[in-house]
Amino acid sequence: KNQPNVETKNATPIVESASVANVSNAVKPNLPNIHILTMGGTIAAAGSGPAQTTGYEVGVLTPDQLIEAVPSLKDIANLTTTQVAKMDSGTSNTDAVMVKLAKEAQKTLDDPKYDGVVITHGTDTLEETAYFLDLTVHSDKPIVFVGSMRPSTALSADGPFNLYNAVALAGSKEAQGKGVLISFNDKIGNARDTFKTSTTGVDTFKNPELGYLGYMQGGKPYFYNLPVRRHTNQSEFDIRSMTEDHLKRVDIVYSHANDDRVMVDAAVSAGAKGIIHAGTGNGSVHEKTLPGLQDAIKKGVVVVRGTRVPEGIVTREKIDDDNTFVVSDNLSPQKARILLMLALSQTQDIQKIQKDFNQY
Ligand SMILES: NC(=O)C[C@H](N)C(=O)O
C-alpha cells in the first residue's frame, strides 16, 4: 500500500520509434544526444478540463506522450527515454527511489554516446531528489531537472515549454560542470539553493535571496552565477558505491510556540540516526525540547540545529559546542536531511559532519 509505482524498462530510442509521429526517425549527428529519465509528477499528469489545476491524476503520460507534446524537440536533440517511476513526488518519493534514479543517471552519463540527462519529476520533492543527485552523481555532463505546475490538459500548461528549455539546457556546452540544475519557467537554478516557493504558481522554483544561475531565452542558456559548494565530480559521496541500505533514517522535527520533546522522542524510538531540528528564527530550540535532543545525542543520534525560516544561515554558537550539535548553514530542513543521510553513510564524527555542512 502506498508504494511508489516504480518501474524501469530498457531505454527506448525514441528516434527509432515508429509510433512517435512527431519525432524524427533519423539520428541527426549534429544534435546532442539527450536521455530523458521520467519520474511522473504533474508534467506527466492529466486533468478533466482546461481549468483544472489541482486534484488531477499524476504521472499518467508515457515518456512518448511527453515528447509528442513538443514536436520541436526533434530540432534540438536526439532523444531517448527511460521511465524510472510514475509517482506523485509529494505522496510517494522515497530514499530508495532517489538511489534508483541516481544510479540510472550515472549509468547514462557514463555512456559516451550521451551528452546529457533530463529528469522529469514532480515538483513537491524535486529539490530533494535534485540535491541528492548533485551530491552523489559523478559527471561533468549536464543533469537537468524539470517539472510543471499545470497538468498537460490545462490551458497554458507549463510542461511543454519547461521540457523544451530543459532539453536545450542539457544539450548546451554552457551547462557542463555546473552540477545538477533545475530548469523552470525560463530560469536556471542550482539544485542546492533552489526550492519550491509556491503551492500552485508556475514561478515556483527560486531562491528569493540568492537568486538564479541564469535564464533560458530563445532556447539558449544565459549564465550569470556559479554554484560554489562541492557537487557532482567534487563530491566525496558516490552513487556507484552506494545502496539504499547505506542511508539511515533521518527525521525532521519542526518547532513552534508551545513545543516540547514529544516529536524528538518519537523520532528516536522510530530508530532515527539523525534529527534535523527545524527551529524557530535563527535555529532556536525550545527549552522543553532541548532535554529531548540532549537525550537523543546521548543515544548516539546526530542532531542538526537548523531553522524553519526559509532564508538566512544558522552558524555555530555556544549552544552547539555545549551540546555537540551540528549546524545547518543555510540548508532547508528537507535538504539538510539529504546531506545528513549521506554524511552518516560515511561517519558519525560530529566535526567531519559539520565540515560536510560547511562544504556541500
Ligand atoms: N507539480 C507537481 O508536480 C506536484 C505533484 N504533486 C508532484 O510532486 O508529483
Please name the amino acid found at residue 58: V
Burial class (CB in 10 A: 0-12, 13-18, 19+), 2: exposed
For residue 26, the model assigns a pLDDT of 77
Burial 141-179 (b: 16+ CB within 10 A, else e): bbbbbbbbbbbbbbeebbbbbbbbbbbbbbbbeebeebb
Residue of 32, 91, 82 whose CA lies nearest to 62: 82
Nearest in space to 115 (alpha carbons), one of 134, 133, 146, 140: 140
Break the chain down into helix, strand, coil percent, rounded to 5: 30, 20, 45
Residues 6+ away with beta carbon under 8 Å from 241? none
**Where residue 56 falls among pLDDT bands split at 50, 70, 90?**
very high
In ligand 1, the atom with minimum distance to the C-alpha of 90 is 8
Predicted pLDDT at 17: 33
Instruction: State residue 1's pLDDT score.
Output: 35
Domains in the chain: ranges and CATH: 12-234 (3.40.50.1170), 248-359 (3.40.50.40)
**Mean pLDDT score across all residues of the chain:** 93
Given a cut of 80, is residue 223 above it in pLDDT?
yes
Out of 12, 38, 42, 153, the active site residue is 42
Q: Percentage of residues in the chain with pLDDT exceeding 90? A: 92
- Amino acid sitting at position 170: A
Residue 110 confidence (pLDDT): 98
Model confidence pLDDT, tens digit, residues 101-122: 999 999 999 999 999 999 999 9
Model pLDDT for residues 263-291, shown as the tens digit of each residue: 999 999 999 999 999 999 999 999 999 99
pLDDT band at 262 (very low <50, low <70, confident <90, very high): very high
The complex's ipTM? 0.98
pLDDT tens-digit profile of 289-334?
Answer: 999 999 999 999 999 999 999 999 999 999 999 999 999 999 999 9
Helix axes 95-110, 126-136, angle to 10 degrees: 50
86-95 average pLDDT score:
98
pLDDT 10s digits, 171-198: 999 999 999 999 999 999 999 999 999 9
Residue 200 has pLDDT above 70, yes or no: yes
Q: Quick one: average pLDDT of 51-57?
A: 94
| Torsion (CA) 260, 90, 208, 190 in degrees, nearest 10 | 120
Q: What is the distance in A from the centroid of ligand 1 to the CA of 219? A: 25
Q: How far is CA 278 from the centre of its chain?
A: 19
Q: What is residue 96's predicted lDDT score, i.e. its pLDDT?
A: 98
Q: Known catalytic residue: 123?
A: yes
Out of 123, 232, 289, 307, pick the active-site residue: 123
What pTM does this model have? 0.93
pLDDT of residue 22 exceeding 90 = no
The whole-number average pLDDT for the span 143-151 is: 98
Counting ligand 1 atoms within 8 A of each CB, the residue from 42, 120, 153 with the most, and so the one to mutate, is: 42
Residue 19 has pLDDT above 90, yes or no: no
pLDDT at 15 over 90: no
List the one residue out of 184, 33, 199 whose CA is nearest residue 116.
33
Residues tagged in the binding site annotation for substrate: 89, 123-124
**Quick one: pLDDT band at residue 25, thresholds 50, 70, 90?**
low
- The 8-class DSSP code of residue 56 comes to P
Residue 341 identity: M
For 31, 72, 117, 306, the CA distances from 165, given in Å and listed in that order, are 15, 11, 13, 34
> pLDDT band at residue 59, thresholds of 50, 70 and 90?
confident
Does 139 sit in the ligand 1 pocket, CB within 6 Å? Answer: no
